[in-house]
Structure 1
Amino acid sequence: MEWNDLINFANIKFLKEIVSRLDIQVATLLGQTSNNMSYNGFVASAININVDLIIIEGWYDEVNGRGVI
């Protein structure tokens, strides 16, 4: 029974860390769009970066697959 408690504790700790990271990301995204500027973000297809979409000012976030302008 103690072994099951240990496994459950480890799984809960892992899930809590994931939820904490997601909480930070959501708070960042909400803060980014709620500064009295609800239209400061948009979504565009960037499958072929520098072909379909050319970023003149900003940078391309390869990890998240998005351009930050």
Structure 2
Amino acid sequence: METINKTALFLVIVGALNWLLVGLFSYDLVAALLGGQTSLLSRVVYTLVGISGIWAIGLLFKDFTDTRA
């Protein structure tokens, strides 16, 4: 489960940085790297970032108390 959480957070950060570039410079890095907004690869990345954002909502309510001895 830890791997899924870290992957989701990584993708959320990628999405946030992409939106920062869009907001500041009108530059969509994902689209530029993967062949435009309508390319299959870009749409897959956008979808994975969106799913990761939904997954990260659950992380807001997770108790991260360290229970190791």
Length-normalised TM-score, structure 2: 0.37
Structure possessing the higher relative contact order (Cα contacts under 8 Å, 6 or more residues apart): 2
Which of structures 1 and 2 has the bigger CA Rg? 1
Structure with greater strand share of residues: 1
